[in-house]
Amino acid sequence: MLRLLPLARLYSKTPISGFQVGAVAKARKSDPAGENALFLGANIEFPSQALTQTIHAEQSAVVNAWRQGPGKIETIAVTAAPCGYCRQFLYELDGSINLEVILHNQPSGKTSRHNLADFLPEAFGPRELGQAAGFMAASNRRTGLTLPPSSNDTLVQKALAAAGQSYAPYSQNHAGCAVMTANGNDYTGRYIENAAFNPSLSPLHTAIIQMTMDNFASDDEITRAVLVEKSTSISQRSICEQLLQTVVPGVNLEYYEAR
């Protein structure tokens, strides 16, 4: 994990701060062999957007793992100590009370190991809002969503499938996003909620994480973006539209409401 941290940091996009952060998450695969796998993550900033739109390296690594289907994340290594925002995001993970955090100071070469619970005493999490299990728990189930039969576009269907896999235990605003790029690639993202609300990630944010982590130093550009959601007391539409106009001005968000 420590050897991979410099590589993870190379994926950072930091036009505002210039402060690059890399993260590596270790998770046990859900296959019968139960082997461990490592997933990279890096921070991503968006110029002309509010700083709250920023994706943190820890979020990126967790999303990178989640979309590839492993089980519980056991350890995360980071090039800089997690900020309070990231500690709250990580606390949403199922079994987070036992999550190990490895800090590696690259200039000094010093490494230290910590328990997330030590970083976040008296934490507020899923159980405080009545949830027995956290994010990425084996008990998290897919949500059955449907669209009108006329919505048989492939990209729309991929966004619908992503919405069904989203994590929205507090609002039930299940949402998914699918984007297509100039190179003909497509990427999907799923909405992730957090008990503290603010560290939640929109489905377009998680789609951008997939696109970034799958294409090192790529200039591939989004040409189409679709959002499918089950609208409740909240909606992902506005935040996705704002972010999309920053990333690719002129590309309009295609919106579908699922049932």
User: What pLDDT was estimated at residue 213?
Assistant: 94
CA dist., res. 147 & res. 254, Å (int): 14
Model confidence pLDDT, tens digit, residues 208-244: 999 999 987 667 899 999 999 998 999 999 999 999 9
Q: Which of 12, 4, 11 minimizes the C-alpha distance to 38?
A: 4
Specify whether the CB–CB gap between 230 and 145 falls below 8 A. yes
- Residues β-bridged to residue 101: 76, 114
Same-domain check for residues 160 and 120 = no
Q: What is the mean pLDDT of residues 103-131?
A: 90
Same-domain check for residues 10 and 56 = yes
Name the average pLDDT for the chain: 93
In a domain, 148, yes or no: no
**Residue of higher predicted confidence among 69 and 182:** 182
Same-domain check for residues 106 and 197 = no
**Beta carbons within 8 Å of 206's beta carbon, 6+ residues apart:** 63, 67, 177, 189, 190, 191, 192
In a domain, 134, yes or no: no
In a domain, 125, yes or no: yes
**Beta carbons within 8 Å of 189's beta carbon, 6+ residues apart:** 162, 176, 177, 178, 179, 202, 203, 204, 205, 206, 207, 208, 209, 210
User: What pLDDT was estimated at residue 142?
Assistant: 80
Q: Is the pTM of this model over 0.85?
A: yes
Q: What is the mean pLDDT of residues 18-35?
A: 87
| Number of domain units in the chain | 2
Residue 186 has pLDDT above 80, yes or no: yes
Q: How far is CA 241 from CA 49, 93, 145, 158, in A?
A: 12, 28, 22, 19
Same-domain check for residues 13 and 99 = yes
Q: Which of the residue ranges 20-24, 181-185, 219-223, 248-252 would you say has the lowest mean pLDDT?
A: 219-223
Amino acid at 254: E
In a domain, 116, yes or no: yes
User: What pLDDT was estimated at residue 5?
Assistant: 96
Same-domain check for residues 186 and 89 = no
Model confidence pLDDT, tens digit, residues 69-89: 877 899 999 999 999 999 999
In a domain, 14, yes or no: yes
Determine how β-strand 110-115 pairs with β-strand 100-105.
Answer: antiparallel
In a domain, 140, yes or no: no
In a domain, 149, yes or no: no
Same-domain check for residues 9 and 125 = yes
**Confidence tier at 151 by pLDDT (50, 70, 90):** confident
Same-domain check for residues 159 and 88 = no
CA dist., res. 244 & res. 238, Å (int): 10
Specify whether the CB–CB gap between 26 and 40 falls below 8 A. no
Q: Which of 166, 180, 186 minimizes the C-alpha distance to 232?
A: 166
Domain of residue 124, CATH code: 3.40.140.10
User: What pLDDT was estimated at residue 166?
Assistant: 97
Q: What is the mean pLDDT of residues 116-128?
A: 94
Strands (E), 32-185: 36-42, 73-78, 100-105, 110-115, 175-181
In a domain, 139, yes or no: no
Phi/psi at 43 (nearest 5 deg)?
Answer: -80, 145
User: What pLDDT was estimated at residue 217?
Assistant: 62
Specify whether the CB–CB gap between 23 and 40 falls below 8 A. yes
Same-domain check for residues 169 and 242 = yes
What range does the domain containing 62 cover? 5-129
Catalytic residues: 58
User: What pLDDT was estimated at residue 109?
Assistant: 75
Residue 185 has pLDDT above 90, yes or no: yes
Same-domain check for residues 31 and 85 = yes
**Residue of higher predicted confidence among 26 and 150:** 26
Long-range contacts of 115-119 (CB under 8 A, 24+ apart): 116/87, 116/90, 116/91, 119/82, 119/87
User: What pLDDT was estimated at residue 106?
Assistant: 63
